[in-house]
Amino acid sequence: MIRVLFIDDAYLAEQYPVPSNIERKNILTTIKIAQIDLIDLLGKCLYDRLEQGIIDSDLTSDEAILYDYCKLYLVFITAKQLLEFVSIERTLSKEIDVDRTIQSAEDRAGYMEERIQRFINKTTALKDIATATGCGDEDSYNDGDSLSSSSGIYYPDYTIGDDC
């Protein structure tokens, strides 16, 4: 199912504070689990195209932007899952407020999920791949009607570019 990890433990550590006492194999397993959530978000057809584009190094510019969004989504979902695990085990340093850190990761993942869906919905080429016939109802793209988070906060509609 998953042929390429979109992020690795080094990328995760660069993007979000996760405890250093978690074994690498556990981090990579958690990334794989988070990537399954990404398949559910994108739908199988769009996920497969993105994965194949990474393997073949032939992502379109829109796919490259989507890939960047997906990497951030995976960072936040993975961080949330790892922090929840560490919280349960009570092995996290007392310097970090676990509940607030988990909530922050969850909020950011919800925000990235919304951005991904808005970007796909406004980008015809991506939407066509995501909604192509033959993708199957079970593995089809969710166009945003049932977002996992609905904070009611307005976020401007812009893309991440080189001038950030």
**Which structural domain, as residue segments, surrounds residue 51?**
9-130
pLDDT higher than threshold 90 for residue 76? yes
Phi/psi-derived region of residue 120, left when phi > 0, alpha when psi is between -120 and 50, beta in every other case: alpha
Q: Is residue 139 part of a domain?
A: no
Q: Is residue 58 part of a domain?
A: yes
Residue 123 CA to residue 63 CA, distance in Å, equals 10
Residue 129 CA to residue 2 CA, distance in Å, equals 19
* DSSP summary character for residue 96: S
Sign of the alpha-carbon torsion through 54, 118, 17, 98: negative
What is the residue type of 122? K
Q: Is residue 145 part of a domain?
A: no
Q: Three-state DSSP class for 92?
A: coil
User: What pLDDT is stored for residue 119 in this prediction?
Assistant: 94
* Domain count within the chain: 1
What percent of the chain has a predicted confidence (pLDDT) above 70? 76
Q: pLDDT tens digits, residue range 9-25?
A: 999 999 998 878 888 99
Q: Is residue 21 part of a domain?
A: yes
Q: pLDDT tens digits, residue range 15-51?
A: 998 878 888 999 999 999 999 999 989 999 999 999 9
Q: Is residue 146 part of a domain?
A: no
Structure confidence at residue 161 as a pLDDT band (50, 70, 90):
low
Residue 45 CA to residue 53 CA, distance in Å, equals 12
Which two three-digit tokens encode residue 80?
């949330």
Q: Is residue 112 part of a domain?
A: yes
Q: pLDDT tens digits, residue range 125-158?
A: 999 999 888 776 666 776 765 444 433 333 344 4
Q: Which span out of 37-51, 73-87, 90-104 was modeled with the highest average pLDDT?
A: 37-51
112 touches 83 (CB < 8 A): no
User: What pLDDT is stored for residue 87 in this prediction?
Assistant: 65
Q: Is residue 17 part of a domain?
A: yes
Q: What is the arithmetic mean of pLDDT over 86-92?
A: 55
Q: Is residue 2 part of a domain?
A: no
